[in-house]
Amino acid sequence: MRVAGLTRLAPIRRQVKRAERGANVTNIRGLQIRRLEPSDAALFRDIRLEGLQRNPEAFGSTFEKESALPLSWFEAVLGRTAIFGAFMEETLGGVAAYAAQEGTKQAHRATLWGMYVRDTARNLGLGKKLVAAVLDHARGRVEMVQLTVVSENEGARRLYSAAGFVEYGYEKRGLKHDGRYYDHVLMVKFLDED
């Protein structure tokens, strides 16, 4: 599958790096974190499939499954789920999703899932801002946000720890991909501890 949007991010990456040396990334011209709408389905599909293809171990779903789904499926997901996107000059550089648990006794919990930042937009602070957007959305709705991360994914674990998530469990062989097992670290952030 052809991956769109990567080369278009190069000048923005330089702009962010320049700004990082002397300013806050929030002030970067053209950087916007916002909730995706059904009309963003094509952009969302593109980045979601890229993530599933490039980092299959980071997701529970698969490229094979989701690449076969129609655009209307992605529209429906965006219609019922809070998914946040990091836009740089209208290019979608990263996404992160929020899902509240269903059921009266689990309604105080939500999950952060689908976290992905394109290769060319990494280490610029987009992941940090996307996690912050999910947590902002969660405040006032739930009491805690949980997530699962592959134990070997040290970058993501550090990102979540920096945002206040703590490890509360370890799921050995939580995921099996291409005949290989990956252990899962379970993390939680209690919002009343902010």
Ligand X SMILES: CC(C)(COP(=O)(O)OP(=O)(O)OC[C@H]1O[C@@H](n2cnc3c(N)ncnc32)[C@H](O)[C@@H]1OP(=O)(O)O)[C@@H](O)C(=O)NCCC(=O)NCCS
Phi, psi of 153 (to 5 degrees): -85, 75
109 vs 122, beta carbon nearer ligand X: 122
Q: Judge contact between 182 and 174, C-beta under 8 A.
A: yes
State the nearest-atom distance from the C-beta of 101 to ligand X, in Å.
Answer: 18
Judged by CB, which is closer to ligand X: 28, or 115? 115
Count of other CB atoms within 10 angstroms of residue 111: 18
Cβ proximity to ligand X: between 107 and 166 the closer is 166
The minimum distance between CB 72 and ligand X, in angstroms, equals: 26
Q: Which residues touch 140 (CB under 8 Å, ≥6 apart)?
A: none
In whole angstroms, the minimum distance from the beta carbon of 168 to ligand X comes to 15
Q: List contacts with ligand X (CB under 6 A).
A: 51, 55, 58, 94, 115-117, 122-128, 149, 153-156, 158-159, 162
Q: How far is CA 144 from the centre of its chain?
A: 17
Whole-angstrom Cα distance, residue 125 to residue 130? 9
Conformational region of residue 4, where left means phi above 0, alpha means psi within -120 to 50, and beta covers everything else: beta
Question: Which one, 135 or 159, has the nearer CB to ligand X?
Answer: 159
Minimum separation from the CB atom of position 107 to ligand X (A): 23
